[in-house]
Amino acid sequence: MEVYIYTALFAPLVGAIFAAFFAMRKKNIITGAVNSILIALSTAASIALLCAMDESGFHINLLDWISVGDLNIPFGFTVDRVSVIMMVTVGVVSTAVHIYSIGYMAHDKSFNRFFSYLSAFVFSMLVLVMSDNFAGLFIGWEGVGLCSWMLIGFWYERDSASWAANEAFIMNRIADLGMLLGIFMIYWHFGTLQYESVFNMTADTDTAVLQIIGVLLFIGAMGKSAQFPLHTWLADAMEGPTPVSALIHAATMVTAGVYLVIRANPIYANIPDIGFFIASLGAFVAVFAALMALVNNDLKRIIAYSTLSQLGYMFVAAGLGAYWIALFHLVTHAYFKSLLFLGAGNVMHAMNEDLNIKNMGGLFSALKITAVLMIIASVALAGIYPFAGFFSKDKILEVALNEDAYILYLTLWAGAGLTAFYSFRLIFIVFFGSWKEKHIHPHEAAKSSLLAMLPLGILAVIAGFFEGIFEEFVTQILPEYTFDIAHETVILMIAATLGIAVFGILFAFYMYIVRSGFPKWIEAKAVYKFLFNQYYIPWLYQSYIVRPFEAAAKFSWKKLDEKLIDASVDMIANILHKSGDQARRMQSGNLSVMLRWMVFGLGILLLTAVFYRA
């Protein structure tokens, strides 16, 4: 099994290094093909590990890594029933994204560099999920942060791309400080960072200590999974190429926070109050993001807000102790969300990179395959039976009901209706609305790109039917979750959720097909502007954090650095320079002058001797 583990982990790294050798050369299709093959090989190895999984899983220590005093951290990896699910999910989506990118990035001058970054991103995510200790997880955690910065800012010539990349990087570093403090706290209290050792000691640990650790780790999760108030970077990350959006938002970076809570479930199981806070924040974010998606007109941002909303659902399940259900929704969501982003890439190419859905319409006739695949993904996202989203999302609502968290349940129920509405608002406007850009002649994407999307479309349909097998598989490690609500109540809940989702779709149909959108006067309302401007949170950050910090930095630069520090250093330099100029006259070579200096020096020596004796 070691060969499979090494192949799954290091094949993407080999691809990244291979592409890096050609990064500064002209586009070479072989680079994309080799990287795609290596990612597919990694995925095949992950699937082989999944099929061969036993109760104990597989573990390897690659080498001794950090050994200082009592601290001993090996560079070790574990493949158990949780990590292997993540490995397969990351692999399947990454393979599709790599193959898709060959056609999507075909005309980009930095084609080779893109594949190097993309494969490095996958490698970092695999390090994160496969590590057997918190230090290794943090290395992968920071790796995906670095790679996301490179990929979001891939077109660095654009100021907006560089700004978005820096925003994502800085906001995640703020959150990562909390996570790093949590890891320090773990070592300080437990004396180790190995998962197995730490989790075996949690039951006998003081609750207050676990609460501090749980909060600090969750701060890191808030940054990676873009939970309020560290959420603004997620939508701005759309400045990167669309395949990057599909990878970041579906199976890798933004799901890392959810994975951390799931992996650290022995800690969070002992601090239910912190878990309930996580669930409450998740429910808030589910509606908070969905409302922004209702009014946004940017094709990719609408899907990004959808990701933010669905991450909220995952945190609700994890916070309430239904860890396997959170993981199940993470997996199903990865398939239909990556499919939506890749479909959005096809639409962008057809529209000459225009992202405003108000400029689109009637694209179904030109992009039939893309339209069908995006409709499948949207139906799954809306939670309509028998698509994948129905099984995983409804299970989360059932958990909220089972925990008597009625406010959380009603919030998520309302979020389901909003999700269905904004998802089909996009579909109806883009593919079935009236055509507006007469000078554009849209065309379907390359066959390789469509072929890459096909498996994701199939999984978006069938993945939910594996719920029973999935539960049995992962609950060998994760805690089982017991439902105590009556079967009739479950049926009513499912009917209510389906009802609100169907209503959202029909209302979107009425507003954007029958009536061609909301009347103009609604856009003038304060509530609409409030949502359209993202609750003015970016403005608040810019006005009360960024600008004061920038002003303080300029003051320090102009007044302290230049006027005080630089001036002091310059003054010392000038004194030394002038004294050197004066001293240089002693070495003029004039015999008369040198004799005078000798007499002067002799006099100083005599005076010194006299005073010394006295």
Query: pLDDT value at position 64?
Result: 81
* 184 CB-contact burial (10 Å; exposed 0-12 / middle 13-18 / buried 19+): middle
What residues contact residue 139 under an 8 Å CB cut-off, 6+ apart?
127, 128, 131
Q: Could you tell me the CA-to-CA distances from 421 to 174, 281, 414, 416 in Å, in that order?
A: 34, 22, 11, 9
Q: Which residues pair with 138 in a beta bridge?
A: none
Query: pLDDT value at position 522?
Result: 81
Neighbours of 127 (CB within 10 A): 23
Predicted model pTM: 0.89
Query: pLDDT value at position 283?
Result: 96
Cα 212 from Cα 398, distance rounded (Å):
29
Task: Give residue 391's identity as a one-letter amino acid code.
Answer: F
Cα 484 from Cα 481, distance rounded (Å):
10
SS3 60: strand
Higher pLDDT, 611 or 417: 417
Contact yes or no for 488/407 (Cβ under 8 A)? no
Cα 490 from Cα 578, distance rounded (Å):
89
Tokens of 558: 């102009």
* 353 CB-contact burial (10 Å; exposed 0-12 / middle 13-18 / buried 19+): exposed
Reported as a pLDDT band with limits 50, 70 and 90, residue 46 is very high
Quick: pLDDT tens for 374-421: 999 999 999 999 999 999 999 999 999 999 899 999 999 999 999 999
Mean pLDDT across the chain, nearest whole number? 90
Query: pLDDT value at position 523?
Result: 77
Cα 395 from Cα 25, distance rounded (Å):
50
Alpha-helical (H) ranges within 70-158 are 83-104, 111-130, 134-152
Nearest Cα neighbor of 133 from 255, 264, 326 is 264
Quick: pLDDT tens for 469-497: 999 999 999 999 998 888 888 899 999 99
Residue 121 pLDDT greater than 90, yes or no: yes
Nearest Cα neighbor of 459 from 95, 93, 100, 102 is 93
Cα 121 from Cα 250, distance rounded (Å):
13
Contact yes or no for 312/284 (Cβ under 8 A)? yes
Quick: pLDDT tens for 559-586: 888 888 888 888 888 888 888 877 777 7
Please compute the mean of the pLDDT values over residues 434-443 and round it to a whole number.
Answer: 69
Residue 594 pLDDT greater than 80, yes or no: no
| Exposure class string for 515-532: b at 16+ Cβ within 10 A, else e | eeeeeeeeeeeeeeeebe
Reported as a pLDDT band with limits 50, 70 and 90, residue 23 is confident
Query: pLDDT value at position 459?
Result: 95
Sequential DSSP letters for 415-465 = HHHHHHHHHHHHHIIIIIS----TT----PPPHHHHHHHHHHHHHHHHGGG
Query: pLDDT value at position 611?
Result: 79
Quick: pLDDT tens for 53-100: 887 788 888 888 877 777 788 888 999 999 999 999 999 999 999 999
Helix, strand, coil percentages (3-state) for the chain, rounded to 5, are: 75, 5, 20
Residue 614 pLDDT greater than 70, yes or no: no
Query: pLDDT value at position 436?
Result: 63
Query: pLDDT value at position 51?
Result: 92
Quick: pLDDT tens for 304-346: 999 999 999 999 999 999 999 999 999 999 999 999 999 999 9
Please compute the mean of the pLDDT values over residues 5-19 and round it to a whole number.
Answer: 93
Query: pLDDT value at position 576?
Result: 86
